[in-house]
Every structure is written in C-alpha cells, then in structure tokens.
Chain A
Amino acid sequence: MRDFHPLVLFLYFAAVIALSMCALHPVYAALSFAGALTAYICFKGLRASLRLCAWLLLFVLVMTAFNAGFNHAGLTVLAKPGGNPITLEALVFGLTSGVLLASVILWFSCYQEVVGAAGIRIVFGRILPGTSLIVSMVFAFIPRLSNRATALQDAHTALATGEKGIVRLRWLSTMTSALMGWSMESGLVTAASMKARGYGMRKRSSYRPLRWRRYESLLFAALLLLVMAAAVSLVLGLRGYLFYPYISASGSVWQQLPYALIMVLPLLIQGGDKLRWMLSS
C-alpha cells in the first residue's frame, strides 16, 4: 500500500478518518475500529500494536464509565447505586463514542506511518510550494536544533558548571539563549546559501519525482466511488438508529457492506500483496 501515490493515500485516509468521526453507531464504530486496528497491525507489526491497544482499551473503558456514571438518559435501567440509575443506553453510547475516538486515533497513526509529513508536502507542494518549502526547512532544522542542544548540555555537564535549584533555572535560560544565538548564526549561513541559489528571484516551480499515471487516475476514481458508497451507507445507518430513549435500529445488514469494505481495504491490499508474493515464489 505504501507504493500508492500519496494523493491516493491521502484521499483514502482523509475519507476513513472523516467517516469514522461521524460513525456514532455501535456497528459502524466497531467496523471502523476493526479496520483501523488490522491496518495498524499490518503496517507496524503485532508487538507495537499491542502496546497502543492497551492504552486505547483503557481510554475506551474510561469513556464508557464516565458516560454511564454521569448520563442517566435511557429507559433500560441496569442498576441504581446511590439513587443514580445506570442505563444500558448510556453505557452503549459511552462505549460507542469511546470506540469511535479510538478508531480515529488509530487511523491517524496509520496515516502517519504510511504517508507522513513527506506525503503532505507531495500533495500540497504544487498547490502551495512556499508552505511546502517551509515544512521541509522545519524538518531539516529540528534535528540540528536537538543536536546543538545535546552538544551544549554535554559540554556543560563536562565542565560541571550546571548547578541545581534556582541557579539551575537561571542556567537554563542562559543555555536557551546560547542555543538561539547558535541557531541564528547558522541561520545566516542558510539564508546566504538560499540567496546564492536564487531564492526569492521569482515564483518557485516544483520538483515532484512522483508522477500521476492512468493507474493512479483509475485508482483514484474507484476509491472516490467507494467513499461515496460508504458515506451513503453511513448516512442510512445513522438515520435508522437511535440511542435514546431506548436503542432502536432499522435497515438491513447489507447496507453496511460498502462501509465495511472501505474500512478493511488496507487489510485486503496488504493481505493480497502477501499472497501474491507467496504464490509467485
């Protein structure tokens, strides 16, 4: 999936994130979550996913408990500790919104893993070349800054001039200003290097080595269709669903199919790839 054009990937992730955000429906939220989790496992591996999963589980539990404890709407009372009714409806609502948020977080993590900041730049480079350059410069600057901070810290640990307590606070401010001074000094060189290479002469053009071919167009169109079908599916699902006063749903399971399909797409593609490799070797 990583070999897809960033614009296709961008469309896909923007769509699933937007859909997941709206999916306040237990089945749809569960589908989103299942899709996001399998995609995350595909990209990051099982071990890394388990750790994130543990955090998300905790998050979902807290959301559920919070909603059930403070929201008393709904007719199906499960228990009444201290006169406050805990209802099934509130419990399900809390669980659904927790899972919804967890799936959004997971989708964002997948996006970061597959497309990342470089992808944003490729997508927007042509539309906003200036912004794209700034992002690039920032990403070049951050490692330099952190290297310099480490160098400063090491040098002064070695000199043993770093004090503790309030003196240390003052010390930190000195270090910060030294770091700024150092960075500005090297910034002057960067500016000269930019100017020497004609920066600011005229509007810049853009160099994008990734090309857009027929294959990408087809993929993009197909994906767009699927996104629209999934959106319709979600709208239909949400229209026939109520949490309060008691949970009620209408419509067939079949109408959830396009939504399910778009959510498990990474799994299908990654799995298909693996199968193809296995068959060909």
Chain B
Amino acid sequence: MDAVKLTGFSFAYPPEAASAALARADYVACSGGEPCVGAASKPTLDIDDLRVPVGSFTLLAGMTGCGKSTLLQCLKAELAPQGLRQGIVEVLGSELTITQQDSHSEDPGRIGFVMQDAEAQIVTDTVGEELAFGLENLALPSAVIQRRVAEIAAFFGISGWFDKKTSELSGGQKQLLNLAAIMTMHPVLLLLDEPTSQLDPLASKEFLSALYRVNQELGITILIAEHHLSDLLPLCETVVFLDEGRRVFDGGVQDFIVFCTTEKPLYLPALPAATQLALTLAAREDKCQPMPEEGLELPTGAQDTPTTVRDARNLLQAVVCARKDAAIQKLNSGAAPGFQELLSGAETERASAPVLTTHDLWFSYGKEHGFVLKGVDVAARRGRIHAILGSNGSGKSTLLFALAGVRKPQRGRVRVEGKLRRAALPQDVKAILIRDTVREDLEEGATGFGSDREAVQGILEEFRLTHLVNRHPYDISAGEQQKVALAKLLLTNPDILLLDEPTKGIDAAAKQELGILLRNLVALGRSIIIASHDLAFTAEYADECVLLFNGQLAGAGKPKEFFDGNLFYATDINRITRGILPGCVTLDDVLGRALG
C-alpha cells in the first residue's frame, strides 16, 4: 500500500499569484541564471506517477527550485497552495480534494508537516502549551491531552526542558519541539520541508536520529525534502528526485547514486562525502585498471556504494590493500603532511602584516551572564580567509561582532590597520536585506561609500544576479539571498569581511559558488573572517582554521593540519581516510595526493 500516490498530477500557480508565488525560487521551477518570466505558463509540478510506500523513509531530492516544497504542500489539504490542479492525489488511501482555500481535512493530525523555520513554527510561549496546541485544536478532553503530551515529551527526551519558555530554547530544541508537537497528534505520515537546513551539524544529527526513531519504532511514513544529505542519506530507503517539477527518479538509495552519476552529475556535490569518495575511487579504478589484477577483494556488502563514514573507510581500506601500488605505499610512508610546506607557509605569514588584531579580548553581555570571550587573540591577514569554528553558543557570532566594532569589549581592543573598512554579514541575512527590491538594497549599500550605479551593475553581473533585481529579497532562494547580502556588503568597499555562517541553509551548488566568490575576493587583497559550523566548506576554502572554545581560541592552523589533528572536528573525508591515507582533508586531497 502507498502512503502517497500521485497519478497524472499537475499543478500550476494561478497567473495573478504568479508574480508573488512564482518569484519564490523555493516554490517554482526556475533554475538559477535564467529569468523566470516564462515560468508562469508551464505547470510547477507535472508528475505522471509517484508512490511513497507506507512505513518508508523517503527522501525528496532535487536542485533548489525544482518544486519540492510545492509538492509537499500539495499533499496536505490545510497547506495546499492555490492554483490549477489536475490529476489524482491519494494520501493515506483517500483522495485529497481541495475545494476551497480554508479547507480542513477530517483529521489534520494524520499528516504532520515540519517546515524550515524552526522558530516561526512555534505558536505559544511555553513548551508544554506548544505540545498541547494541536490537541486543543482538536478539542480533545484535557485528560487525553495531558497523557499524550507526557508520553511524547518522554519519547523525545523533552522532560528536561518541559517547563522552559519557547524563546529560551536552542535552534535544535525548537525544531525538535516542532516535531514533538506534531507527534502528539498521532500522525501516520510526516512531511518535512528542509527541517535541518537552519540547524548546526550537531543539532541536525540529533533531529534526524529522532526522526529515524519515529520511523523505525513507530512505523510512521516519512517524506523529507533536504539539501544536505551527509547524515540523511544513510537513513533513507527510497529516493524521489524531482527535476523542474517532474519526477525523474524513484527508487532505492543505491539506484539513486547510480542515477546521479549517470544522469545528474550536477547533483553529485550534494551527496555525502563518503559516497563522493567512493564514486571517485570507482571512477579511478575504472580508468587506471579496467580489471584489477588478482581481483579486487572488497569486503562483503561493499558492492553497495557506501553512504556512511564507516562503510567508506572499509572500502578505502580494501582498495588500498588490494592496490599494493607504489604510489600509495610512498604516500603511506612519507606523508606526515608536508612539513616543509607548513614551514614555508609560516614564512610567508610572517611577511604579511596583520590588518586586524586583538590582544586579550574579553566580552560579557552583562554582570549576571559571565564572560563569553575570555582573552581572545586574533590576527587577520590580508588576502586570507580565516575560519573560526566552534560549537553552538561558543561565542563565534559575538566574537565576529566584536571584531566588527558593534560590540564593545570590556577589556582589550580591536586594532584595525590604517583606515581599512570592516563589514559584517549577520547570520540571518534578512537583517541587512531591508528594502523592497534587490536593486534598492544594493543601491543603498552603494550610496555614501564611493560606489555608484555602475558599481551596482558591475556586481550584479559578477554575482549573476541581474535577473533578480526587481524581486523582493524575501522571494528569492537562500543561496541567492546570501549572494545579494554579500554584494550589498561589498558595495560599501570593505577591506575586511566578517561573515557569520555564510553557508547556512544553502545547497551544495550555491556553497561552491560562494566559496569561489570568496577566494576571488581574497585574491584581490581583502581579508575574510568566517564563523562557521561547516567543516567541509572551511576545509576547502579557508587558509586558517581555529577553534573557539570556552571563550578562547585554540589550535590555530592551516585547514590540513587543523582537521587532520582532530577526531570530532574533522571533515568526513578526513574521518574516512584517517590512518589509511594520512593528511587528506578534502576530496581533492584524496584525488591529488593519494591517487594522483
């Protein structure tokens, strides 16, 4: 039996709503770079046949703007967007008919829906009331509500913060609360629209493992749309891939990986690092040695392309053992990673004087809060990307805003070389995108800082944003918002850029684009400081990484030595290659150094 079954389904936003709804890249088929004018005429979704089996954990994948959100919304009567609908949608065995906008299904609790914005989904001010909210709407008796709330709070381990105010919760707790508040209504099907994209990696892992328990222990069907697959793909059984509103793939995870390699190479960077590494290895093997001599003995079960660090390690181990290749042997022996390189690196660092320094910086939000920063020393240099890593609440954002001159430290001073300008990008870019159109926002950035309309035009072209100029900044995708905000920042002609979580909520392709943009900026002599959770991104693009812990910076080093020395704060690639191919932090390292 299928939990969701679409037959000959198509959906198009109505023309009058087109300007608003179509503009939103999340909701409409319109891939980056092209203007969206023509999109109004063709349907957003056009799906001949789609089935999600009961009890499955299904991933809804696709590039940004392929119609994932619209599809999920079309499956729940209460959220179904207005528009032209054709074909049959069967959810949980009964046909879904949307007669009017304010329609309610028989039992709204049967289908749960978790959205991206963890905070905005929360309705009430205390955890207990939030859990009870849906049940109160169903007018259940108080005794039933109390029992269900208690049971779900226990299941999700919420008891510890049950009495808290919702505004005091961390982002991860908020999203877990949203899931729990839906679970009290005893759903049979859960629809999730990028639930972890705003969470830090640890919170995101916690959320996904809670979701996995819901699926495994309660047998609830899960359909989840998400960009970041490294922790998610190992949990999934089936994958549905949408491309411009069409279902182009539907099947198991292994078939999906094959599908990506053969049909959608653009989507490969979104796959887990483990899978990417395995695919690269496989490609190499095919190219170098069509048939490995004496047969490449892979461990049992490794016919599958791995999706987890453990499986990828096993595979790599097998490959390395099988290929008693001279190249690898050499690497294994002499690859305590480029000590000479490090030395020469240190010399060039001495050569370039720091542009922004702090010495013994202390900061506190008030007497009763204690110190967030306890003697931080920073030295940012021209032409470099410095990355500050650290767990949630370690004070990364505080440090960044102290460096930007917004927060005044209690002790210590931020010294800026000469008359260099600083500019900071906040975590939520909505804080700096405050005008009605992208153009107005950028022109505001330009005025007063020696930039003119030409500069605006120039940066629009450089960042490939020209097709968005007349859109509202809220109606573009997260990746595009990030770019517009960065462009606005650059129009103020800063020499030092301070970026808070620049990769939050954006897909793999947008991340790559952002990374290249940042590299270009430092190549022109700017310096950049990033506060981030994104280990893979910093490993790839930063020049120096440092860990903020307990109010102090620890273990500064080049990404390679930094991540290679960590067990937990290491990239997935490093965890896979540790002890097998030393000194590898990114996929390129594995390619270039180990197998080159």
Contacts and interface: CB of A to CB of B under 8 A. Distances in A.
B528 to A, nearest CB: 14
B78 A155 contact: no
Nearest to A150: B431
A209 B445 CA distance: 52
A272 to B, nearest CB: 26
Given A137-B123, A186-B119, A197-B134, A192 B145 contact: no
A178 B185 CA distance: 36
Interface in A141-188: 143-144, 148, 151-152, 154-161, 174-175, 177-178, 181-182, 185-187
Q: Which of B129, B445, B474 has the most CB of A within 10 A?
A: B129
Interface in B314-353: none
Contacts of B498: 158
B132 A151 contact: no
B417 interface: no
B137 to A, nearest CB: 4
B423 A137 contact: no
Interface of A (DSSP majority class): helix
Contact of B125 (A137, A192, A209): A137
A36 to B, nearest CB: 27
Contacts of A160: 421, 492
B123 A196 contact: no
Contact of A198 (B119, B137, B165, B431): B137
Given A155-B424, A209-B128, A189 B120 contact: yes
Contact of A193 (B121, B406, B444): B121
Contacts of A154: 401, 406, 426, 431
Contact of A190 (B102, B120, B139, B145): B120
A198 B124 contact: no
B149 A201 contact: no
A160 B182 CA distance: 43
Contacts, number: 163
B142 A197 contact: no
A146 to B, nearest CB: 9
Contact of A194 (B107, B119, B123, B432): B123
Interface string B142-155: 10011001000000
Interface in B73-121: 76, 78-79, 102, 104, 107-109, 112-113, 115, 117, 119-121
B401 A205 contact: no
Contacts of A139: 125, 165
B125 A186 contact: no
B167 A205 contact: no
Interface in B176-220: 178, 181-182, 185
A205 B104 contact: no
Contact of A158 (B112, B115, B405): B405
B38 interface: no
Contact of B145 (A140, A186, A195, A205): A205
Instruction: Sort chain A's interface into a size bin.
Output: 35 or more
B139 A158 contact: no
B422 A207 contact: no
B141 interface: yes
Interface in B385-410: 401, 404-406
Given A137-B124, A152-B431, A196 B424 contact: no
A206 B137 CA distance: 9
A139 B125 CA distance: 6
Contacts of B129: 136, 207
Nearest to A149: B431
B444 A195 contact: no
Nearest to B135: A207
A134 B525 CA distance: 53
A144 B119 contact: yes
B138 interface: yes
A182 B430 contact: yes
Q: Which of B128, B134, B431 has the most CB of A within 10 A?
A: B431
A155 B432 contact: yes
B538 interface: no
A140 B431 CA distance: 20
A212 to B, nearest CB: 12
B431 A175 contact: no
A19 B554 CA distance: 63
Q: Which of B132, B140, B182, B434 has the most CB of A within 10 A?
A: B434
B369 to A, nearest CB: 15
A249 interface: no
A206 B142 contact: yes
A206 B474 CA distance: 36
Contacts of A144: 119, 167
B445 to A, nearest CB: 7
A207 B127 CA distance: 12
Contacts of A185: 430, 474
Interface in A208-245: 208-209
Interface string B278-322: 000000000000000000000000000000000000000000000
Contacts of A159: 423-424, 432, 445, 488-489, 492
Contacts of A118: 126
Nearest to B475: A185
A74 interface: no
Nearest to B403: A158
A207 B178 CA distance: 18
Contacts of B107: 198
A201 B105 CA distance: 9
Interface in B426-454: 426, 428, 430-432, 434-435, 444-445, 448
A155 B426 contact: yes
B57 interface: no
A238 B132 CA distance: 49
Given A151-B431, A201-B104, A207-B149, A158 B125 contact: no
Nearest to B426: A155
B238 interface: no
A133 B128 contact: no
Contact of B139 (A140, A155, A203): A203
Contacts of B109: 197-198
Given A156-B431, A193-B115, 15 more contacts: A136-B123, A137-B124, A140-B166, A143-B165, A144-B167, A148-B431, A159-B488, A189-B115, A189-B117, A189-B120, A196-B78, A197-B109, A198-B78, A200-B102, A207-B128
24 contacts: A129-B136, A136-B123, A137-B124, A139-B165, A140-B122, A140-B166, A144-B167, A154-B406, A156-B431, A158-B401, A158-B404, A174-B435, A178-B434, A185-B474, A187-B120, A189-B121, A195-B78, A197-B109, A197-B134, A197-B182, A198-B134, A203-B139, A207-B135, A208-B142
Interface of A: 118, 129, 133, 136-137, 139-140, 143-144, 148, 151-152, 154-161, 174-175, 177-178, 181-182, 185-187, 189-190, 192-209
